[in-house]
Structure 1
Amino acid sequence: MPKPDPSACDADALIDAVIDREGRYVNHPADRGGPTCWGITEAVARAEGHVGAMRDLPRDMAASIYRRLYWQRPGFDKVALRAPRIAAELFDTGVNMGIAIAAGFLQRALNALNRTARDYPDIAVDRIIGPRTLAALDAFLRVRHAGGETVLLRAMEALQGERYIALAERRPSQEAFLYGWLANRVGDA
């Protein structure tokens, strides 16, 4: 299923799209995260108060978890006010790889694109969206204008694709997921 057009970065639409893409209950033997429902792992569901069978995780509970843990807590909602397409990518990557990995991709890309700190200072790749990351994003967008968001998005997707391939190379069992990751998670698929 294609990613939604995140031009307005409607969090509800992003959450609905990821839930639809992830589907209901899955317990794939090669998935190190164990059983999932709507893309929510059992560990996360339990930590968020779900006590029933994973098959029975309510969709609205999954949506609430996505909003709190994968949109608001990491600050992707703040990114959305500046760069909606970047926020949509952070959310999708955060769901699949973890929010810290997604934030780190943004920070690494911002550092690599600052023309050796001429446009704005390098930021720590601490994998947290805080004031310095937001200030660097603001500076990048101010210097690079409308086309900058597209280039930053491409840089983040390149990092994501490289990580998927490296994961499959390190753990051959993950090759079962590589095609789908590249088809559905990287780029405008």
Structure 2
Amino acid sequence: MSVFDDAFESTVKLEGAYSNHDGARGGATAYGITEAVARKEGYTGAMSELPLETAKAIYRDRYWKPLRLEAVAEVSQPIALKLFDTGVNMGIGTAAGFLQRTLNALNRLGSDYPDISVDGVIGPKTVTALVSFINKRKPQGETVMLKAISSLQGARYIEIAESREQNEAFVFDWLANRV
């Protein structure tokens, strides 16, 4: 089984098969994929009948590949899994930005590696910084990185609930299951 397969299974387990909660901005979702995204990807059927393999292809093309998570997984599979789930739940730019912000905050004033642009795109400089970080900080670095990304994610969930009252219906589960 590939790292992508592990990430997909983990995220789909959290997302569930089909949902159409009144307070959800995305409306009907299947495996965490909104109807709008499914339509953009060419799916025309009922969301309650979205095939799991179609969902998997969408996840690979819209989240895994754009986040360059194969490259991240070569450095740290747990970080790749975290970024994938964060990207699915919050958007790929947000997930990449969380990694970039954390790398900049943890580079000891640039003595371990230079600051990188927080542009929401994981490119070669971000991957190089991650490699340097893990090499310098070893296994504890991976643990701290995961905690930092989770901290940013948790804070973002609170902000989302504060900005849209209907999201209070979801924030408990988001915090319980994703942070």
**TM-score of the pair, normalised by structure 2:** 0.96
Q: 1:42 aligns with which of 29, 35, 38?
A: 35
Counterparts of 2:173 and 2:75 in 1: how far apart (Å)? 30
Counterparts of 1:146 and 1:25 in 2: how far apart (Å)? 37
Partner residue of 1:19?
A: 12
85-94 vs 140-149, greater mean Cα deviation = 140-149
Q: Does 1:153 align with 2:146?
A: yes
Gaps of 5+ in 2: none
Secondary structure of the 2:60 match is: helix
Which structure has the highest helix share of the two? 2
Higher relative CO (Cα under 8 Å, sequence separation at least 6) belongs to 1
Give the residue type in structure 2 aligned to 1:156: I
Q: What pairs up with 1:130-149 in 2 under 5 angstroms? A: 130-149=123-142
Q: 2:23 aligns with which of 20, 25, 30?
A: 30
Partner residue of 1:178?
A: 171
Contact 2:28 2:35 in 1 (8 A): yes
Deviations 1:134-154 (A, max 9, x none): 111111111111211111111
Deviations 1:100-128 (A, max 9, x none): 10000000000000111111111010000
Q: Percent identity?
A: 54
Give the residue type in structure 1 aligned to 2:41: E
Q: 1:168 aligns with which of 161, 165, 175?
A: 161
Counterparts of 2:148 and 2:69 in 1: how far apart (Å)? 17
Gaps of 5+ in 1: 1-7
71-80 vs 18-27, greater mean Cα deviation = 18-27
Counterparts of 2:139 and 2:109 in 1: how far apart (Å)? 21
Aligned CA RMSD, in angstroms, stands at 1.3
Q: Does 1:85 align with 2:78?
A: yes
Contact 1:111 1:122 in 2 (8 A): yes
Secondary structure of the 2:43 match is: coil
**TM-score of the pair, normalised by structure 1:** 0.91
Counterparts of 2:52 and 2:138 in 1: how far apart (Å)? 38
Counterparts of 2:10 and 2:78 in 1: how far apart (Å)? 15
